[in-house]
Amino acid sequence: MGKWYKNIFKKDRVDETIDAFKPKKGLTDAQLAAQKGEGWENINLISGFGNVGLSSFDLFYNNLLNKSFESERQRILGYREMAEMSEIADVIEDATNESIQEDEDGKLLHLEIIGDELNNNENIIRNINKEFDELFYKRIDTTNILWDMFRNYMIDGRVYYERVINKNKKTKGIINMKRLPSESMDYLYDPLTGEIELFYQYLNPKSKKPLNKEDALKRKDIVVFYPDQIGFINYGIFGKTRYEIFGYLEKSRIPYNQLKLLETSVIIYRIIRAPERLVFRIDTGNMPRDKALKYVEKIKQKMTKKQTYNPATGQLSQEPEVLSLLENYYMPQSADGRGSQIESVGGQSAGFTELDDIYYFSRKMYRALKYPLSRISAGEEKREADIMFGGNNTGEITRDEVKWARFLERQQGRFCKDLIDLFLINLKLKGLKKQYNLTNKNLKISFNSPSSYKEQIEQNNIEARFSNYQGIADREEFSKYFLMKKYMRLSEEDILENVEGMKMDIKYGFSSKEE
């Protein structure tokens, strides 16, 4: 066992494997003693994991795990390679920035307490809100941590994090969130219920996927976690089993490969066809044909360096790594001036100007990413006209913007569901969950909306309702009370409150009408 493995389990570390995480029937402290997950920063220092790069992982994992986990690791690495393309990177950046943003008060998350019994008790409301602010705005650097987690969720299709607590001071609750590298994580679930029974993290370079729960508990090369210790958020689309997780980038895999191939082909075509080439006529005197050809070849080898194009880096090099480009021409010429002639070395000019294929697959990739085409230059992408949502008024919104915002709201919802579990565990450790009889049905956590389309739509609707009301409010055959309920959609309480407000306007001089 290497020194790096021994250094993982330090005596002075915070131990999260405490009784608070233990199920009624499950693991013992002895079985999980001195085990701690290695976070994103730590795992990169371990030999074999490298810097989460493609080549280093290939060496580390090729003979490491069985096929099911190996395929998932390859899927994650494939997603990360796709995310390096500038177009996809920009989409993921936009998605993260729009989903994880603060409001004017600097708040990223908002808590809503549900239930009349709870809302009627000001002391309970005050204590729960105090704990919420303490956890998400003082102990946890929510803005930065959640931004990083959401971005990696959009790339990997999953995100794991450890709910960090202090064994010696467990009543202080959750003290931090620590993201775990998804390519080192795995889990065991019950196929009948779909519930995850254990999480584990592979640490030893020779680790294999455990056969079952008992096998995992005996292993020292795997970190085992209770389900409550780990926060696990996934994209929600699975393959044949729940171990096969398809991420956000899965549907864009084919157009990504097609676009990448076409772009490489265009670059190679231009490099090959664009430059001028020289024709060297080598004087071979009265040499025999075979000797003349050998002599020309000797001169050619001495004077020429081949250029190659590497699509992985986009660079030209002098080594034949990928594709040798066309070279200059070397022709033997006899003493009397006889030799071969080259009439034309040109290509088709259309290859320099027509890029419809690239535009087509680019649009196809953006559609697979659910990204609004209205954000892409119509001139460059040669796309069709936008479908407008909201009519011809100034508050109109493109339909693809609405679809994009709703998509991001669904992803926010996946995070919020897990954050509720995190908050409930924090309240449980502090004894408040049992004291107030709280469940996940009593709490709702929400992010700020990624778009203002809801407000714009509501504003358009209000203007339309007010216009309809105003058009017939002065007609004697219609009751204003009826029209307020029908067109303004005011409730009985709203109408009574409006009447009282009109009285207050007269009282304080805001209105000149007599009561």
Q: Using one digit for the tens of pLDDT, what is the confidence trace for 274-292?
A: 555 666 677 777 788 888 8
* Amino acid occupying residue 155: I
pLDDT for 14 beyond 60: no
Report pTM: 0.70
The helix (run of H) or strand (run of E) holding residue 81 is helix 67-82
Mean pLDDT of 172-177: 90
d(CA 185, CA 59): 18
pLDDT for 330 beyond 50: yes
Contacts by 474-482, CB closer than 8 A, 24 or more apart: none
Mean pLDDT of the chain: 77
Question: What is residue 499's predicted lDDT score, i.e. its pLDDT?
Answer: 85
Q: Is 514 left (phi over 0), alpha (psi -120 to 50) or beta?
A: beta
pLDDT for 19 beyond 60: no
Of the candidates 58, 60, 29, 148, which has an alpha carbon nearest to the alpha carbon of residue 100? 148
Residue ranges of domains in the chain = 3-249+407-447, 278-334, 453-507
Which of 125-134, 261-270, 416-425, 428-437 is least confident?
261-270
Mean pLDDT of 85-94: 94
Q: What is the DSSP letter of 85?
A: S
Q: Are 225 and 201 in contact (CB under 8 A)?
A: yes
Residue-wise pLDDT tens digits, 299-314: 777 666 555 656 666 5
Mean pLDDT of 40-57: 46
Question: What is residue 26's predicted lDDT score, i.e. its pLDDT?
Answer: 54
Question: What is residue 469's predicted lDDT score, i.e. its pLDDT?
Answer: 79
Q: Are 230 and 179 in contact (CB under 8 A)?
A: no
pLDDT for 267 beyond 90: no
* Amino acid occupying residue 182: S
Which of 103-117, 155-169, 248-262, 481-495 is least confident?
481-495
Which of 112-121, 124-133, 186-195, 352-361 is least confident?
352-361
* Amino acid occupying residue 142: T
Question: What is residue 335's predicted lDDT score, i.e. its pLDDT?
Answer: 64
- Sorted by sequence, the CB contacts under 8 Å of residue 325 that are 6+ apart come out as 268, 271, 272, 306, 307, 308, 309, 316
Question: What is residue 55's predicted lDDT score, i.e. its pLDDT?
Answer: 46
d(CA 29, CA 18): 7
Mean pLDDT of 391-412: 78
* Amino acid occupying residue 371: Y
Backbone angles phi, psi at 267, to 5 degrees: -65, -45
Written as six digits, the tokens of 403 are 């679809």
Among residues of the chain, what percentage have pLDDT more than 90?
Answer: 29
